[in-house]
Chain A
Amino acid sequence: MTEVVMEQMPPVLHGPTEKQRKYDRQLRLWAESGQAALESANLLLVNSGCGTVGVETLKNLVLPGIGRFTIVDDAVVSEADLGVNFFLDEGSLGKMRGQCSTELLLELNPEVHGDWYPKTKGDLNLEKVLATSSTFTLIMYTNPIRPADLAIIQAYGKQHKTPVVLVHSAGFYSYFRILLPGAFPIVDTHPDETATTDLRLLTPWPELVEFAKELTRDIDSLDNHVHGHLPFVVILLHYLDEWRATHDGAYPLKYAEKIAFRNLVQSKMRTDNPEGGEENFEEAVAAVLRAVQPTSLPSGIREVFDYKPTDPQEDGSPFWIIAEAVKKFYEKHRCLPVPGNVPDMKAESEVYIKLQNIYKAKARQDAAEVLKMVQAVPGGRDVDPAEVGLFCKNAAFVKLINASAGGGIDTILNSERLATVAAQEFSNDEMAEETLTPLSLLPIYLALYATSHVESSTREQIVSEIAKAVPGAGVNQRVVQAAEEVARAEGGELHNISALTGGMVAQEVIKVITKQYIPIDNTCIFDGIGSRCQVLRL
């Protein structure tokens, strides 16, 4: 049988390479796998307007080592560009903006490749750029965009199933949207370490039961040192048994029972020792409410189980093959595969390592069972066993983004959805003072959205555009204020707000490309006056 969970590779005794040293601080976040994904990515930026927010985004992607980027921008550098865009200098005046920014961005990281179009003013042919370039991993474009260019991007995105990111920054406001071509599953979500502990105290398997019994056979006559070094997992298993013996075999599941059980464990702590207590029993007491818990199916993986891939290509992907197998595993055992990690706890080294190995062995056994199920279906033999191992380890935290819309680039304007969200947000705002929730940032989105294709608008023009998109919204006082604030900028970017937005967009692009952490679903609005964000699904 194939080994699913990889054993530790023999350690390499030499230090890191120069590249590992350069990228050290980010490899600690997304590891070599994430880095490899970044380095093979090929990005397109279709730039417009003041042109800063897209370039600032690229800066944050060139630095960590994105593979390749292309800027499409038919603007010629003007004096005003130098006041807002850091990747231009005095020598850029009169030259193609895309070229100058590309050259200065490439200085940041010699490992990155970059190109620009058009090569000369007036020669822009976006369709040709798309047709002659190698396939783009992701496309970003900034508003205001010409509708004809948008149509070309939409056609390309649809054909190649390319994620598209749209960004708009003006004055103190910005928003960006991530339009994914279909359901987007993430296995490596990097949950909080404390959240991942899953000790299965209510469904222990024979090896774990045996181990705990062995250590606690004569628990009351153990010497103080051994008693004070029993791992808390073992302590809890022992007293759960004791509890069940006096409660018709039932576990303490109700809150009051858990408190009573906690008191039982507390009462077993020895206090007649020099320390006046025992750290391991304190850990056991502290863990009761969290660890004495029947296993339930987290919403993220439930959504994965319930999802029906619509597209045959999607259906045959390793993710969905593994998901189906894990679902079968769940249906058979009524629990997910054991993730296999054990938190640190007061214990003797040898005892702790044994305990750790019991959990690891169970995790390997569960993953092997899943792998067998995977390999039994068509295409399953091609699935990488390491991928199965990772899925099993993270099963409780697997996440599906963009599960219901699916439409991707076509959902740039989903009027029905927008109207529903607007009604919801405006009604929340009426209650905001009582519920102490911050006010909706949707008005900012609406005001910027109203200027998606125009360089600048007056407040009145913006309000009337908004009223067309969301009937009735034009009379909302906060919408009018947002429109006035957007009008103040007359389409101009503040460098600083674009830098901030470029940081947020870059984070999200990294998450989408590496398939690690959880990207927004699907619109993030930033308010530089109140200094806060809101994510809405539009």
Chain B
Amino acid sequence: MASVEVYPSIEPLRWKYLDRIRTRPGPFTDLDVFEGSAVAQNMDNMKVLVIGAGGLGCELLKNLALSGFKNIHVIDMDTIDISNLNRQFLFRKSDVGKFKAEVAAAFVESRVKGVSITPHKCKIQEFDEDFYMQFQIIVCGLDSIEARRWINATLVDMVDEENPESFIPLIDGGTEGFQGQSRVILPTMTACIECMLDMHVPRAQVPLCTIATIPRQPEHCIEWAHQIAWDKEKPFPKLDKDDPEHITWLYQKALARAEEFNIPGVTYSRTQGVVKNIIPAIASTNAIIAASCCNEALKIATNCAPFLGMPEQNNYMQYSGNDSIYTYTFQTEKKPDCPVCGNRARDLDVNLGWTLKELIEALAVNPSAQLKKPSVRTEKKTLYMQSPPGLEEQTRPNMDKTLLELGLEEGEQIGVTDPAFPSVSFKFALRFK
């Protein structure tokens, strides 16, 4: 009700619309946790981290700055490309080649008075727990599932029951075309990104024999140029997917192969799309998803309204704009066999006749594993180690042995590690098909 008191911030005129909402309760506000008089000051002292300064990141920085967050850090190692300009609105043509994090931070700082944005032009893996511990909320706008899994594992690992500050909400957004999703993870309390891994199934790989011998689609010809012709002819020392000359080479190779087999549809754009695994992206979808993430951040920071991720409540919003507008907001459950936040081994269907190599390939494509460089051991012995080189060489002969030959048994647990997620030990219980 309008009669309830507003607690203005230091600049009451500037933030009057925001203060009306964030400093006084509405009909859905939980009065046990909401304290209007403390909100503005709390937010002034809060540090928020944005991971990614791309399509979502640009939006996030703008939205957080205009939602009353004063101290923001942003991490992104990428530089600006011309294809970013149709949506990454903090960048101009003259910025192409500069670091995204720096340009984005400087732009929002100069536009919104009183906000401080610290850029970091590096990988998230270069920071340790102490760095992440300084933030009260972390918001992710990434296109890489691997980076998401890494920060998720790191934040879950950081939780120390004795220390409330070790408990940092993670808000994650993603888009593709007219669709996207946002979700809130309260480490160890709600489902984590690893719990939901099978919701993001990687695109199925085309079998190598199709590419090599019986192409039928333009994509098969492009993959042939990419995976086979390039390696054979090595036209340039190293494939640079952003170099038009390299893409043109692949395109021409793919086109020649397509002509040989009468396959229509190989174009430059399609070649680039397949080789770089391009996901269509537009400003409006980024606006929706980033703002949804920021909305949850504001509610978490202030308690002025319930947020996604509250215990036993919805923690995930899916948005689709292809056919009308459709949102599906629901609760994903924590999985007891989650390798990051659970404690039970996850079942893995295998075949006794498989070689260890086939098992390792299965770990890469299995939706709930998606491990590209796994090292595998049982409780008794080491089966395969990716590194150090000496151990790799020593365990390599196992690759061609079948699981039967290696003496693996039904229900036996294997431990898997992957350099992409150093803090996680993945445990799988073998189930024979």
Q: How far is A349 from B213 in the complex, measured between Cα atoms in Å?
A: 8
Chain B, range 1-54, C-beta contacts under 8 Å to A: 1-2, 11, 13-18, 20-21, 24, 26-28
User: Which residue of chain B lies nearest to A505 when distances are taken between CB atoms in the complex?
Assistant: B284
A122 at the interface (CB under 8 A from B): no
Q: Is the CB of B216 within 8 A of A347?
A: yes
Name the segment of A80-88, A261-269, A363-371, A388-396 touching the other chain: A80-88
A12 in contact (CB, < 8 A): yes
Contact with B along A75-97 (1 / 0, CB 8 A): 00011101110100110000000
Is there an interface contact between B28 and A21, defined as CB atoms closer than 8 Å? no
Instruction: Determine the chain A residues whose CB is within 8 A of the CB of B279 once the complex forms.
Output: 25
Contact of A25 among B15, B93, B281, B305 (CB under 8 A): B281
**Cβ of B291 and Cβ of A507 under 8 Å apart?**
no
Cβ-defined partner of A519 (8 Å) among B13, B59, B177, B324:
B324
Tell me if A129 counts as interface (CB < 8 A to partner B).
Answer: no
CB–CB A503/B284 < 8 A: yes
**A520 interface hit (Cβ, 8 Å):** yes
Chain A interface, number of residues (Cβ within 8 angstroms): 91
B284 surroundings in chain A (CB, below 8 A): 60, 502-504, 506-507, 510
Q: What's the Cα separation between A493 and B16 when bound, in Å?
A: 10
A16-B268, A28-B278, A83-B66 given as contacts; is B92 within 8 A of A107 (CB)?
yes
Is A8 engaged at the interface, CB distance under 8 Å to the other chain?
A: yes
A89 → B minimal CB distance (Å): 6
A56 cross-chain contacts in B, Cβ below 8 A: 287
Check A529/B113 contact, CB under 8 A, given A63-B283, A438-B329: no
- Specify which of A229, A350, A488 is in contact with B24 (CB 8 Å cutoff): A488
Report yes or no: A353 in contact with B214, Cβ–Cβ below 8 A: no
Complex interface: chain B residues within 8 A of A484 (CB)? 1, 26-27
Chain A residues in 8 Å Cβ range of B202: none
**What CA separation (Å) do A459 and B26 show in the bound complex?**
11
Whether B324 lies near A518 (C-beta < 8 A) is yes
A436 to chain B, nearest CB (A): 11
Give A79 to B251 CA distance when docked, in angstroms: 54
B214 touching A348, Cβ below 8 Å: yes
Q: Is the CB of B280 within 8 A of A25?
A: yes
Q: How far is the CA of A172 from the CA of B298 in the complex (A)?
A: 11
- Interface residue A50 (Cβ < 8 Å from any Cβ of B): yes
Chain B hits for A495, CB < 8 A: 18, 63, 66-67
CB of A11 closer than 8 Å to a CB of B: yes
A349 pairs with B261, CB closer than 8 A: yes
Residues of B within 8 A of A8 (CB): 264-265
Neighbouring A residues of B277 by C-beta, 8 Å? none
Chain B residues near A22: list those with CB within 8 A.
82-83, 85-86
On whether the beta carbons of A506 and B280 are closer than 8 Å, the reply is: no
Binds A, one of B159-167, B314-322, B406-414: B314-322
CA distance A108 to B372 in the complex (A): 40
**B226: chain A residues within 8 A (beta carbon):** none
The interface residues of chain A lying within 8 Å CB-to-CB of B288 are 500, 503-504, 507
Q: How large is the interface on B (under 10, 10 to 19, 20 to 34, 35 or more residues)?
A: 35 or more
Q: Shortest distance in angstroms between B285's beta carbon and chain A's nearest beta carbon?
A: 7
Interface string of A160-201 (1 = CB under 8 A from B): 000000000001100000000000000001100000000000
B70 at the interface (CB under 8 A from A): no
The answer to whether B214 touches A21 (Cβ under 8 A) is no
- B239 contacts chain A at the CB level, 8 A cutoff: no
Q: A189-B323, A531-B317 are in contact. Are A86 and B62 (CB under 8 A)?
A: yes
A496 within 8 A of B: yes
Contact of B17 among A352, A459, A492, A510 (CB under 8 A): A492
The interface residues of chain B lying within 8 Å CB-to-CB of A23 are 86
Please tell me if the beta carbons of B273 and A171 are within 8 angstroms of each other in the complex.
Answer: no
B residues in contact with A319, CB < 8 Å: none
B268 with A488: CB separation less than 8 A: no
The closest CB in chain A to the CB of B22 belongs to A494
Q: B269 is contacted by which of A27, A63, A78, A506 (Cβ under 8 Å)?
A: A27
Complex CA gap A23/B281 in Å reads: 10
Which residue of B17, B24, B324 contacts A535 across the interface (Cβ within 8 Å)? B324
Given A82-B113, A83-B14, A83-B18, also A503-B329 (CB < 8 A): no
Which residues on B sit within 8 Å (CB–CB) of A532?
A: 317, 327-329
Does B72 touch A at the CB level, under 8 Å?
A: no
A229 to B214, CA, bound (A): 10
Q: Are B63 and A496 in contact (CB under 8 A)?
A: yes
A464 within 8 A of B: no
In the bound complex, CA of A344 to CA of B289 (Å): 33
What residue in chain B is nearest A397 (Cβ atoms)? Answer: B323
> Cβ of B248 and Cβ of A506 under 8 Å apart?
no
Contact between A490 and B2, CB atoms less than 8 A apart: yes
Contacting pair A481 B15 (CB below 8 A): no
Question: With A22-B82, A487-B1, A503-B284 in contact, is A496–B66 under 8 Å at CB?
Answer: yes
Residue A218, interface by CB 8 Å = no
A21 touches B82 (CB 8 A): yes
- Closest residue of chain B to A534 (Cβ to Cβ) is B327
C-alpha spacing A492/B19, complex, angstroms? 10
Determine the distance from Cα of A348 to Cα of B262 in the docked complex, in whole angstroms: 12
Query: In the complex, how many angstroms separate the beta carbon of A243 from the nearest chain B beta carbon?
Result: 28
Q: How far is the CA of A496 from the CA of B319 in the complex (A)?
A: 17
Contact with B along A434-445 (1 / 0, CB 8 A): 000010000000
Q: Which of A229, A488, A520, A531 contacts B20 (CB 8 A)?
A: A488
A485 pairs with B28, CB closer than 8 A? yes
Query: CB-nearest residue of chain B relative to A491?
Result: B17
Q: Is the CB of A493 within 8 A of B17?
A: yes
Cβ-closest 8 pairs across A and B: A503-B287, A492-B17, A500-B291, A503-B288, A495-B66, A506-B284, A79-B13, A83-B14
Q: Interface on A for B, CB 8 Å cutoff?
A: 8, 11-16, 18, 20-29, 50, 56, 59-60, 63-65, 78-80, 82-84, 86, 89-90, 107-110, 171-172, 189-190, 229, 344-345, 347-350, 352-353, 438, 456, 458-459, 481, 484-485, 487-490, 492-497, 499-500, 502-504, 506-508, 510-511, 517-521, 524, 528-533, 535
B residues sitting closer than 8 Å to A (CB atoms) are 1-2, 11, 13-18, 20-21, 24, 26-28, 59, 62-63, 66-67, 82-83, 85-87, 89, 92-93, 110-113, 177-178, 182, 214-217, 244, 247-248, 251-252, 255, 261-269, 272-273, 278-292, 294-296, 298-299, 305-306, 308, 314, 317, 319, 321-329
11 A-B contacts (beta carbon < 8 Å): A12-B268, A25-B83, A26-B282, A79-B11, A493-B17, A494-B298, A495-B18, A500-B292, A504-B321, A507-B285, A532-B328
- Given A59-B89, A500-B287, A500-B292, 4 other A-B residues pairs in contact with their CB atoms under 8 A: A25-B281, A84-B17, A110-B93, A517-B322
